[in-house]
DNA sequence: CCTTCAGGTTAACGACCGCTAACCTCCCTG
DNA sequence: CAGGGAGGTTAGCGGTCGTTAACCTGAAGG
């Protein structure tokens, strides 16, 4: 993984702040002036970087979905290349990846299942397709680990575990929670426990 | 439980439709004219029943939080009166109650953790207090069942299980899911499995 | 039968919001 | 050193939205 060290571009600054604001107050609850102010420029200046407010949301949501899917595919390939295609190991890797994302990009996780309907039709279709592929990838792995699970039940289980993992924004943002590592480990155990209980 | 058989009042109609619309498109994404149209009257007619759009959201959120807390307290008392104070039975009852709510009032479950910040300060404080009491009630019961869990971990676990149970809106609204009973049972098993995995 | 009032209606106001227009100012480059 | 584009600025337009005002109507009550 090529870790970024260079300064973020203005576009990236804007996207980051927009994500935070959208997550806090909802897409319709944030004005372009506020987004501009958050990066030190004023409202209409944003239009030098984005076609409009909708375009920012679209880029955020497509980006998230794509990143999740790409990461999952990479993890699947990595583990399978790494000796035996142990389904359990793949599932653990998927869970770990999703937790990393949920812990590091809470605003995005929040947006991802909240503002989808504010997108233009074509963008929404694209995001939905990426999300569906991501879910189906999980469903396949889960059914490999728990062959007793039917496909509908597996899909429900996957959605529910996403709900569990995506609860990070509700986990006291302050210093009250037991540190990132412990939280990640707790979430991982709970996800595995939930799947195990689902798998008869 | 006194089951309602009389027709819903206009106020109740309005609240129900408003909840659905707010859940679908977000508080700021819905106009008063749409809410009015959904119950067959036109925009400003709503002001005969509510002080304003904010008041509808406030009544919805306070109502949800209060209902959840009241139901949980009742279940706690019921099980404890019913012979031995078996903590496992209380936890099962809490889970069952939450699932019933999440399955029967999906729009409310959605609103409940999404539009809280759109409330006036006083209303938000009240909702937060009710929510906190609900969480703490769960935390107490969970720690009784799993004494190995520290308080912060138990609280995190409870929030995560809420995320799991509240995933019902994502569980294909169409006929693709395996029926209400099976879904409720699956969610229940997964919640118990998640807690068990959390409890060392 | 007259009054009253709950529960509607339409018109319109003021505020806000997304976006465009017009303009300015560096900095890079031929 | 001219000039041109990238990236800002402010002013303002058009539309939408929450809310109020003024008016209407049908049914209940004395």
- Would you say residue A179 lies in a domain? yes
CA distance B9 to B34: 19
**How many Å apart are B52 CA and D17 C1'?**
13
- In this complex, which of A156, A165, A177 lies closest to B152 when CB atoms are compared? A177
- Would you say residue A14 lies in a domain? no
**How many Å apart are A45 CA and D4 C1'?**
20
Q: Which nucleotide is nearest to A53 (CA to C1')?
A: C18
- Would you say residue A29 lies in a domain? no
Positions 19-38 in A, CB within 7 angstroms of strand C: 28, 30-33
Asked if the Cβ–Cβ distance from A29 to B24 is below 8 Å, we say no
Q: Residue holding tokens 């439709």?
A: B17
CATH number of the domain residue A129 falls in: 1.10.357.10
What are the pLDDT digits (tens) for B50-93?
999 999 999 999 999 999 999 999 999 998 777 666 999 999 99
Q: Which nucleotide is nearest to B45 (CA to C1')?
A: C8
CA distance B115 to B105: 16
Are A194 and B193 in contact by the 8 Å Cβ rule? The answer is yes
Q: Which residues contact A58 (CB under 8 A, 6 or more apart)?
A: A119, A120, A123
What are the pLDDT digits (tens) for A77-135?
998 777 666 999 999 999 999 999 999 999 999 999 899 999 999 999 999 999 999 99
A vs B: CB pairs below 8 A = 138
- Would you say residue A149 lies in a domain? yes
pTM of the model: 0.94
Q: What is the mean pLDDT of chain A?
A: 94
- Would you say residue A34 lies in a domain? no
What are the pLDDT digits (tens) for B116-144?
999 999 999 999 999 999 999 999 999 99
Whether the CB of B42 is less than 7 Å away from nucleic strand D comes out as no
- Would you say residue A113 lies in a domain? yes
Q: Which nucleotide is nearest to B36 (CA to C1')?
A: C8
CA distance A141 to A145: 6
CA distance A89 to A67: 21
What DSSP letter does each residue of chain B carry, written as one string? -----SPPPHHHHHHHHHHHHHHHH-GGG--HHHHHHHTTS-GGGGGGT-S-HHHHHHHHHHHHHHHHHHHHHHHHHHHHHSSS--HHHHHHHHHHHHHHHHHH-HHHHHHHTTSGGGS-HHHHHHHHHHHHHHHHHHHHHHHHH-TTS-HHHHHHHHHHHHHHHTTGGGS-SSTTS--HHHHHHHHHHHHHHHHHHH--
- Would you say residue B191 lies in a domain? yes
Asked if the Cβ–Cβ distance from B194 to A164 is below 8 Å, we say yes
Q: Where in the sequence is the domain holding B96, given as residue range(s)?
A: 57-199
Q: Which nucleotides of C are covered by protein (CB under 7 A)?
A: 6-12, 16-22
Asked if the Cβ–Cβ distance from A162 to B162 is below 8 Å, we say no
What are the pLDDT digits (tens) for B8-48?
899 999 999 999 999 999 999 999 999 999 999 999 999 99
List the one residue out of B200, B82, B93 whose CA is nearest residue B143: B200
In eight-state DSSP terms, residue A40 is: T
Nearest CA in chain B to A198: B190
Asked which of A19-23, A171-175, B137-141, B196-200 is least confident by mean pLDDT, the reply is: A171-175
Total domain count for chain B? 1
- Would you say residue B26 lies in a domain? no
Residue A2, pLDDT > 70, answer no
CA distance B194 to A193: 5
Residue A69, pLDDT > 70, answer yes
CA distance B152 to A176: 7
In eight-state DSSP terms, residue A7 is: P
């Amino acid at each position: 993984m090529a870790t970024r060290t260079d300064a973020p571009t203005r576009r990236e600054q804007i996207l980051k702040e927009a994500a935070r604001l959208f997550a806090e107050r909802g897409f319709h609850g944030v004005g372009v002036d506020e987004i501009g102010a958050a990066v030190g420029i004023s409202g209409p200046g944003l239009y030098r970087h984005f076609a409009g407010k909708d375009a920012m949301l679209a880029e955020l949501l497509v980006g998230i979905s794509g990143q999740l899917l790409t990461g999952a595919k990479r993890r699947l390939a990595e583990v399978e290349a790494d000796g035996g295609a142990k389904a359990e190991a793949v599932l653990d890797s998927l869970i770990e990846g999703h937790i990393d994302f949920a812990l590091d990009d809470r605003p995005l996780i929040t947006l991802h299942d909240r503002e989808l309907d504010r997108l233009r039709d074509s963008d929404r279709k694209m995001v939905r397709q990426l999300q569906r592929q991501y879910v189906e990838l999980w469903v396949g792995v889960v059914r490999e680990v728990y062959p007793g699970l039917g496909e509908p039940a597996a899909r429900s289980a996957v959605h529910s575990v996403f709900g569990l993992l995506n609860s990070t924004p509700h986990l006291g943002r302050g210093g009250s929670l037991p540190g990132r590592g412990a939280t990640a480990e707790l979430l991982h155990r709970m996800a595995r426990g939930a799947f195990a209980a689902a798998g008869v």
